[in-house]
Chains A and B, each alone.
Chain A
Amino acid sequence: MKVWNAIFNLIAVVIIAIMIVIINNIDETNRRQFEEVRLSYAVDYATEAAFRACISTDSIGTDYSNEGLKEVELNPTMVLPTFYNVLALSYDLSPSDANFLRIEQSIATGFLAAVNGYYVLEPHEVDINPLDYEIGEEYRLLWGVKRPYIVYTRESNGEYDGRVFAINLVNEKSTEYIPEGLGVGDAEEPFITRDKYEGTNLNDDIVNMSISKLLTEDINYAIHARNAANIYGNINTFYVPSSDSMTAVNDVESPALALIFQDSTFLNGYNMDVISVGGARVKPKTQIIGFTLNGTKYYCYAGQQLGTKFVTGETKPQIGEGEKLFKSIKEAAEAGYSPHMMFLQEPFGKGY
């Protein structure tokens, strides 16, 4: 009988040991999940800040449409310092050079895609002290040269037809490079720019696929080169995930910055990788317009007051000095404007 007691007690001790392991595991998992989400927020905000720092103009030109994006100048110089500073603020690190160097060592690579080319962050061997004749073995990340979006076209039977193009993604012009003596045209100038792929074998699918492939290959090469010389490297391959399962491409529609961050141990104690993308797109914003009609203050969405679907025959409000623009209907109401029930039923305008 005492033997059975002893056996049951032993089983109970084993169960307690299992419970201790489980409680520890739950604690660890909770902490890890929280840190994962926090890291992804922090790196997202830092990447947004870094992208904002590379647009050098505050307005994107007089043409506020996607065409206006071709006026945007991207300057990658301030991207990395801004990223380091904002990430250091998120994790309460002091903005010292040593901390920034450690953050830089955790960046695998990054790319900045503009409308007619892209930059990739590459590891370069730098000379720390230019005055002694020893070339240092320190690798720092520097932006490479801007590379164009190059497409090699094929014939319908699948073979390369020897023509190479550089593409601008927003105005869709292609520039063909004709090396001399190839007999394809005996061109005086080696570069011929065309509108919208005329006279070539190009189409949107080929262009998007080529660009996806180009970006993926360059990023993979940069990651391999980086992690070969980096003790914190743990990402092996990378692919641009497809936004469309049919064509397996993810196309570049507007300027974008992506940064790949690996091994966050020094930030939160866990070895996590994060990839974050920041970018800009132009969207028309509809504002609220407040006006006075027959002595009463009304508001409606901009453009609606010119609509004719529901309101016919009534005199349109004269746009004059008495009108104001608001950012939200709450602001308009707080300023004493009431909704104009008839105009609010008209379709939205895109500003006025």
Chain B
Amino acid sequence: MTDFVNKVITLVLIFVMLVLAPLLISYMSTDMITERLVLNDVSQFIDKVTDKAHVSEHDLDTLYLAVNSHGQAYDVKVQRYQVLEEPKPTTATGENTTKLIYVSMDDIESLARGELVFNNNDEEVKDNPTLLGTTKTYIDLNPRDVIKVHVEEVSISSGKRLFWNLLRVDKGIFEFSLAGTVR
């Protein structure tokens, strides 16, 4: 009887030590490398866009493809914030102060969906009147604008799936944001 229990324990131990542990360690390594590469891609995009002061559809497409090319599916959201100063109400002692606020402009989403259209106020239309009414493929950024990228995992990696199914450990989704400013 005890011998049977011993054999069962031995089998379980073999499975855990020789199969489960190396598999988990290998999956965790892969996940770590993927996350690091995604961070690299995002920071490259932010550097490029803040240097050129210009976001084009091509830049956005390159970012989405690059982030998703490492084997996991990620959702990428790019937002643009503009810096404004708002006057605060005059204090009791008569001081006038202002508050610095960052306001989100929704134009990058519209750019990605192809909804931005040249209108009469744009300078490019004055140079080249045939552009009126066509869709814009880029946005020019002002200095001190902030570009924020938010990346969120939408698929479950093999490592996390293994952790959950066998060990009932939930590692949570991987997400992060990064914001850079236009020079």
Residues of chain A touching chain B, judged by Cβ–Cβ distance below 8 Å, are 2, 5, 9, 12-13, 15-16, 19, 22-23, 26-27, 30, 33-34, 37-38, 41-42, 45-46, 48-49, 52-53, 58, 78, 81-82, 85-86, 89-92, 95, 130
> Are A23 and B6 in contact, CB atoms less than 8 angstroms apart?
no
> Are A45 and B181 in contact, CB atoms less than 8 angstroms apart?
yes
Residue in B13, B39, B177, B183 whose CB lies within 8 Å of A9 = B13
Which secondary structure dominates where chain A touches chain B? helix
Using CB atoms, name the residue of chain B closest to A11.
Answer: B13
A–B pairs, 30, beta carbons within 8 Å: A2-B2, A15-B17, A19-B21, A22-B25, A27-B28, A30-B28, A30-B31, A33-B36, A37-B39, A38-B178, A41-B178, A42-B178, A45-B179, A45-B180, A45-B181, A48-B181, A49-B144, A49-B181, A52-B143, A52-B144, A52-B181, A52-B183, A85-B102, A86-B146, A86-B180, A90-B148, A90-B178, A92-B177, A95-B101, A95-B102
- Cα A195 to Cα B140 with chains together (Å): 44
User: How many B residues, CB 8 Å from partner?
Assistant: 38
**A-B Cβ contacts below 8 A, count:** 96
- Cα A92 to Cα B177 with chains together (Å): 7
> Are A5 and B6 in contact, CB atoms less than 8 angstroms apart?
yes
Within 8 A of A (CB), among B135-150: 143-144, 146, 148, 150
Within 8 A of A (CB), among B36-60: 36, 39, 43, 46
**A residues in contact with B178, CB < 8 Å:** 38, 41-42, 45, 90
Residue in A5, A12, A33, A78 whose CB lies within 8 Å of B13 = A12
**B residues in contact with A33, CB < 8 Å:** 32, 36
Interface: B74 (CB within 8 A): no
Interface: B156 (CB within 8 A): no
> Are B35 and A48 in contact, CB atoms less than 8 angstroms apart?
no
CB of B51 to closest CB in A, whole Å: 11
Known: A26-B29, A81-B100. 19 other contacts (CB 8 A): A2-B3, A9-B9, A9-B13, A15-B17, A22-B25, A23-B21, A23-B28, A30-B35, A33-B36, A41-B43, A45-B46, A48-B183, A52-B143, A52-B183, A78-B100, A86-B180, A89-B102, A89-B146, A89-B148
> Are B81 and A19 in contact, CB atoms less than 8 angstroms apart?
no
Interface: B24 (CB within 8 A): yes
> Are B25 and A9 in contact, CB atoms less than 8 angstroms apart?
no
**A residues in contact with B148, CB < 8 Å:** 89-90
> Are A90 and B144 in contact, CB atoms less than 8 angstroms apart?
no
Using CB atoms, name the residue of chain A closest to B180.
Answer: A45
- Cα A15 to Cα B20 with chains together (Å): 13
> Are A42 and B179 in contact, CB atoms less than 8 angstroms apart?
yes
**B residues in contact with A34, CB < 8 Å:** 32, 35-36, 39
CB of B97 to closest CB in A, whole Å: 11
**Residues 88-122 of chain B: 1 if any A CB is under 8 Å from the residue's CB, otherwise 0?**
00000100000011100000000000000000000
Interface: B154 (CB within 8 A): no
**Residues 10-27 of chain B: 1 if any A CB is under 8 Å from the residue's CB, otherwise 0?**
100100110001001100
